């Protein structure tokens, strides 16, 4: 029970999800890059944690992989010339 609470941001959402969501919604390009990096690290930490603990939700491992993929796409878009369209 305590492990479950430690991995939750509040309600039914895992802690990593809040960091991920905040990164996706950041409007400032420089802040977005920092928040995306932070979210990627938190997601990777959770994936490592799941190697030794079963997920609370069976979909969580796939959700984590999808989140990393989407953050990677967003970071890749930021490094292109047209990437500024999302923030500028």
Structure confidence at residue 5 (pLDDT): 38
87 within some domain: no
- Tokens standing for 78? 């930021």
61 within some domain: yes
Domain count of the fold of the chain: 1
Structure confidence at residue 81 (pLDDT): 63
What is the pTM for the complete model shown? 0.77
86 within some domain: no
Residue 10's φ and ψ, nearest 5 degrees, are: 150, 145
Strand, coil or helix: what is 54?
coil
Q: What is the pLDDT along the chain (88 residues), one digit of tens a residue?
A: 344 434 444 557 888 999 999 999 998 888 999 999 999 999 999 999 999 999 989 999 999 999 999 999 998 888 766 655 455 5
6 within some domain: yes
Structure confidence at residue 44 (pLDDT): 97
Residue-number span of the structural domain to which 15 is assigned: 2-81
Q: Which of 26, 48, 23, 16 is nearest to 37 (CA)?
A: 23
């Amino acid at each position: 029970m305590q492990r479950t609470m430690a991995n939750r941001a509040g309600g039914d959402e895992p802690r990593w999800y809040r960091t991920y969501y905040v990164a996706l919604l950041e409007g400032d390009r420089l802040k977005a890059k920092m928040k995306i990096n932070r979210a990627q690290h938190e997601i990777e930490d959770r994936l490592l944690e799941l190697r030794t603990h079963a997920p609370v939700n069976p979909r969580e491992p796939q959700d984590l992989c999808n989140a990393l993929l989407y953050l990677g796409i967003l970071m890749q878009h930021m490094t292109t010339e047209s990437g500024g369209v999302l923030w500028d």
